[in-house]
Structures are given as C-alpha cells and as structure tokens.
C-alpha cells in the first residue's frame, strides 16, 4: 500500500515474500486491479437489463383497491432471485408499500401503527388463530389493507411474534390448494408459497378477480423458466425430499428441528 513503507530516503523496492513464499509471482502486485462494476439494472423490475422481465409485466399497473404492506426481513433485500420487486412492479406505488426491518414499533413507524389498528387491516400469517381469507372477503366489501411478511419461515415467525403491532390486525391464511411455482427455491412443504404468490392469490380473492392472480404470476413463471434454461435446478420442497428418501443433508441434531421434519413426513400441519 502507498505510504506504508518506513524510514530511509531510498526506494527499497518491492518487499520480499517471507521464507520464499510467492516465488515466481514477482511483479503480480504491480498489475492493475480491475474494478468489478455491477450490471445495469432495470428500474422497473429490478433485474439486470440483459434479463429484464418487463415484457412479462402488465403494461399498466393493476387497478386494485386493496393496499399491500410488505414487511421484509433485511436478508431478503440482498437475494438475487427475490420476488417482491416483481410484485411491486405489477401494482401502483401507493398500493404496495415495502418496509424493511426486524423490529417495528409505534415510535419509529407511526403510519404502520395506525394501519395495524385499522379494523379493515388483515395480516396474512397461518396458524390456529387465523381465519381463511375467502371467508373474510365474502363478509367485507370495503377496501382493505393486507400485511404480508417477506422472509424465510423462521424469519417471518420471528418478525410476527416479536412485534406486538402485527397481532393487532385480524389474522388470515390461504387454503393450501395450489403448489408453489417458485421452483428455483426450496420451500418447507408442497403448499408453501412465495411472497409474490401469496399476494397474487390474496389479491384475486379480495378483489374478486381471478385474472389478477394470473397477471402477477406471469413474471414469476418467466423468471423460473429463464433460470432453468440457464442451469438452475428444480427445487422440490423439503417435505417432498423427506417423503421420497431424497433428502441428502445431515439430519438436524436440534430436537425441535428434528421434530418439525418428522411432522412434515407424517403430513401434520406445522
């Protein structure tokens, strides 16, 4: 590094490698370092411009009355094949708001706190306390807000249970009637859906418009098709791998995690 040499007025030349290390590599440190520049990214779909998915997005944002709040775990921001940018590109900006973080309190997120206290706000999170969204949609005719947590299942669980705001809205869930088309990422079970898929199904129910689901899933299908054509492999769910003896990773030593895997094999909802 420049300026790291000590004493003397004469140029001592390159430092010698200790104990003969680096023999035959003289002068390599003098080679110019190439800067790695990021590929230009599309401003709409957030994909590299060479693999832009905008041709598979709706020409105009979908007209919906439901507003989505996507609560995104910070780890999802850096994932290359994330689905939330595609979801946001399908909807008007004021109908898809993304908040990134792990902890959400009223002082830092007053708007979110107000939304969570609104009687028309729903949070999509499965569990014993959750009502099927179809039942809620039949009884409601007013515009609603739907909160969806974006992250792995363990990340989503952590966000849901460690933020009291998210237990204020009515908790809803989707019936596991379709399998995920996000086949380039492993899901826990056959009926676990990506954030984009959850939003597509939920919006089609709340807006009473089946075509919304098809429109939002179109770019996801294109993404998976492109990745598979360029070397990606189909990722079966962990449930599928366990049931068919294809799970090739070491079984967890943690008793709680091992119990969860046993429940998957035995078709017990977790």
Distance between CA 152 and CA 73 in Å, rounded?
A: 8
The whole-number pLDDT of residue 263 equals 52
The whole-number pLDDT of residue 73 equals 96
The whole-number pLDDT of residue 3 equals 39
In 3D space, the residue among 45, 50, 21 whose CA is nearest the CA of residue 230 turns out to be: 50
CA trace torsion 132, 186, 214, 90 (10° rounding)? 100
The whole-number pLDDT of residue 47 equals 83
The whole-number pLDDT of residue 8 equals 43
What's the residue count for the chain? 270
Distance between CA 122 and CA 237 in Å, rounded?
A: 28
In 3D space, the residue among 214, 190, 189, 192 whose CA is nearest the CA of residue 203 turns out to be: 214
The whole-number pLDDT of residue 9 equals 42
Judged by DSSP in three states, 166 sits in helix
The whole-number pLDDT of residue 257 equals 62
Distance between CA 251 and CA 254 in Å, rounded?
A: 9
The whole-number pLDDT of residue 114 equals 97
Give 121's strand partners: 145
Per the listing, tokens 């091992």 go with: 258
Helices 195-206, 210-229: crossing angle, 10 deg rounding: 160
Which pTM does this prediction carry?
Answer: 0.73
8-state DSSP, 251 = P
Instruction: Give every residue of the chain whose pLDDT is below 50, as ranges.
Output: 1-18, 240, 261, 264-265, 268-270
Q: Which parts of the chain fold into alpha helices (H)?
A: 74-77, 84-90, 110-117, 133-139, 153-161, 195-206, 210-229, 238-243, 255-265
- Give me the numbers of helices (H) and strands (E) for the chain, helices first please: 9, 6
Do residues 228 and 179 touch, judged by C-beta distance below 8 A? Answer: no
């Amino acid at each position: 590094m420049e300026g790291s040499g000590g004493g003397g007025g004469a140029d001592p030349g390159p430092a010698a490698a200790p104990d003969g290390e680096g023999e035959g590599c003289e002068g390599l440190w003098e080679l110019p370092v190439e800067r790695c520049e990021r590929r230009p990214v599309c401003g709409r779909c957030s994909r590299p411009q060479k693999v832009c998915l905008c041709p598979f997005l709706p020409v105009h944002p979908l007209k919906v009355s439901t507003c989505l709040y996507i609560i995104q775990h910070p780890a999802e921001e850096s994932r290359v094949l994330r689905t939330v940018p595609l979801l946001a590109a399908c909807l008007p900006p004021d109908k898809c708001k993304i908040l990134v973080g792990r902890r959400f309190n009223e002082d830092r997120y007053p708007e979110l706190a107000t939304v969570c206290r609104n009687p028309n706000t729903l949070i999509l999170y499965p569990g014993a306390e959750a009502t099927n969204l179809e039942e809620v949609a039949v009884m409601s005719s007013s515009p609603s807000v739907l909160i969806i947590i974006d992250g792995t299942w363990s990340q989503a669980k952590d966000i849901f249970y460690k933020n009291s705001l998210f237990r204020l809205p009515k908790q809803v869930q989707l019936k596991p009637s379709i399998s995920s088309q996000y086949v380039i990422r492993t899901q826990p079970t056959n009926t676990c859906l990506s954030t984009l898929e959850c939003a597509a199904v939920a919006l089609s129910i709340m807006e009473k418009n089946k075509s919304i689901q098809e429109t939002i899933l179109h770019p996801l299908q294109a993404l998976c098709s492109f990745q598979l054509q360029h070397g990606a492999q189909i990722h079966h769910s962990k449930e599928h791998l366990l049931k068919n003896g294809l799970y090739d990773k070491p079984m967890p030593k943690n008793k709680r995690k091992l119990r969860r895997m046993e429940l998957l094999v035995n078709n017990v909802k977790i």
